[in-house]
Structure 1
Amino acid sequence: MQWRRHIAGFAFSFVFVVSYFTNKFVLSVLKFTYPTLFQGWQTFIGAILLLLSGKLGWVEMSRITRSAALSWLPGSLLFVGNIYAGSRSLSRINSSHVVSYIILKVIHREKAQWLKFISLCLMLLSAINLPLFDPQFDYSGYLWAVGHLFCVGAYRVFQVHYKPSNLSDLEQQCINYFFSVLLLAIAAHPTGDLTGALEFPSLQSSTFHCGCCASALLGFLLLLATVKLKSGFSLEHFGVWIFLSKITAMSLSPFIFHMDFNIPALICVVVSHVAEALLVYSERESL
């Protein structure tokens, strides 16, 4: 029934917002800025829960062959870049659609619609101007944001156009998890994250432990909610729910976290989300 589909959308939005706030609390409020360990912990728990759910029959997962896993490794590498750079970045820029759309146009040389082109230009304009006005913005954070956005956009392109027919979304994510755990574990010492985490002031704090456990569990629940939502809606409707979730998170953030902002920075953020709304509308109109 129609109301059940909307329940899946609201469940996705709820988990999305709570997961975002939990990660922001650990990374920003508690200042646990060691992404190889934080993301490694999340992906490790996600992999364990995903395999356990498959064994118990809660989710449908087939045996992943070696050839299928190897063919998906480029996507896993982009996934690691996405989560690592995303943790490093303090940016709130939301222009990954610009990256993926530009790459798609270069590959397929399709003629862009005017409404979609205008929305992408507005998103790009707000992304360029935000670091000039945001009082919380720093140069290194912007560079990590650029890397994060590129990985997100490239991963979307790879997932859509180079997706192996014998791998489901959950099986792709399972490969991503295991590859991430391996790569992040190897990188923990060279990056200095392991040494820094051992000296972290809140390492023995119950608040820190609860935050890390909640972030890992919510990340897994968000994966299940995403797969459920994608299976019940078209990609265009799925994009609408993602947009609504982002707007909800952005609107509630000032009431939960202390944020320094000014009018020009706020205008950049608002313009970015208005542009994304136009993008979602243009994609629905093009059906």
Structure 2
Amino acid sequence: MTVNRYALGLLFCCFYVVSYFTNKYVLSVLKFTYPTLFQGWQTFVGGLLLLVSGRLGLVEISRFPRAVVLSWLPGSLLFVGNIYAGSRALSRLPIPMFFTLHNASEVVTHVTSRLTQKEHASWTKLLSVSLLLVSAVSLPLVDPQFDPGGYFWAMIHCLCVGAYRVFQKLPKYSHLSDLEQQCINYIFSVLLLAVAAHPTGDLFGVFEFPFLQSYRFHSGCCASALLGFFLLLTAVKLKNGLPLEHCASWLFLAKILAACLSPFVFDIVVSKSALCCLLVNYAGEGLLVYSEYNVASR
């Protein structure tokens, strides 16, 4: 059983790293900066595969009434903001910098939970959240590849991710499984991104994209959609098979691997000050995982 858990955790890490690298390749190397189409394609494929898997009995997805779907729409809107802003940010920022801003979403989650649900936190969690906030705020000031647009979209992404986590934990949605939530998110995302493709200019601008007929472009887009779906399945399987604090440890390891391997794949310039910010951020996330272990062991 332990061997199977380690194998599942390592599989999750592999899908996580390769998925981010593939997305980064399409967005930055191929410069496919049409997020409504890119994310629309990913959510369409993910939703289609999820529905087919449910029909075949490979995953368990129950039918939910229309009222449930309508009540979940604010969460789906946050999900769209998450993937759209995340796509814009990832296309401009190196992966380690993107993760540093992404991790700051824990600050949004913590503050929102304190204000709305009166949750109390241990000193270790407060210290970890403080480290995540300080490193995220300091990084733009010392980043030699500073991109104001990238950091702006990373901030929007951070806010949406943090708010989505709080929304997800509301008691009235506890009857929805992770796959059912994601199924609603996919369907809503495809519809919203399809409508937004014309106002954003992506619908017609894509025809000027130089790699449109390239096998590298088609291969990258197909791989990103499939990897995203398999990453979802392994993440849900990991969450259902392990305590949440163990899942957080595997996620932390996956981010470390992606950040450490990314300089070997993509061009990244990191100053000493920026490296300090990254290390402080990793320390903050590691301390956050440790605090969750302490809470679970009580």
- The answer to whether the aligner puts 1:261 opposite 2:270 as a matched pair is yes
Instruction: Give 1:31's aligned amino acid.
Output: K
Partners of 1:164 and 1:275 in 2: how far apart? 30
Partner of 1:228: 237
Aligned-pair CA distance for 1:112:
2.7
Partners of 1:286 and 1:28 in 2: how far apart? 40
Partners of 2:128 and 2:67 in 1: how far apart? 40
Partner of 1:64: 64
Task: Report how many residues are paired.
Answer: 287
Q: In terms of mean alpha carbon deviation, does 153-162 or 15-24 score higher?
A: 153-162
Aligned-pair CA distance for 1:165:
3.8
- The answer to whether the aligner puts 1:133 opposite 2:142 as a matched pair is yes
Q: TM-score, normalised by structure 2?
A: 0.94
Q: TM-score, normalised by structure 1?
A: 0.97
Q: Work out which of the residue numbers 205, 210, 218 in structure 1 matches 2:227.
A: 218
Identity %: 62
SS in 1 for 2:169: helix
Partners of 1:98 and 1:26 in 2: how far apart? 30
Instruction: Give 1:148's aligned amino acid.
Output: H
SS in 1 for 2:121: coil
Q: RMSD of aligned C-alpha atoms?
A: 1.1
Structure 1 stretches of 5 or more lacking a match? Answer: none
Partners of 1:30 and 1:203 in 2: how far apart? 10
Partner of 1:52: 52
Structure 2 stretches of 5 or more lacking a match? Answer: none
For residues 148-167 of structure 1, the aligned pairs below 5 Å read 148-167=157-176
Decide whether aligned partners of structure 1 residues 165 and 280 sit closer, same or farther in structure 2, where only a CA change above 3 A counts.
Answer: closer
Aligned-pair CA distance for 1:143:
1.4
Partner of 1:271: 280
SS in 1 for 2:127: helix
Deviations 1:42-101 (A, max 9, x none): 000011101111111111111122111111111101000000000111341231111111
Decide whether aligned partners of structure 1 residues 8 and 242 sit closer, same or farther in structure 2, where only a CA change above 3 A counts.
Answer: same
SS in 1 for 2:54: helix
Decide whether aligned partners of structure 1 residues 163 and 233 sit closer, same or farther in structure 2, where only a CA change above 3 A counts.
Answer: farther
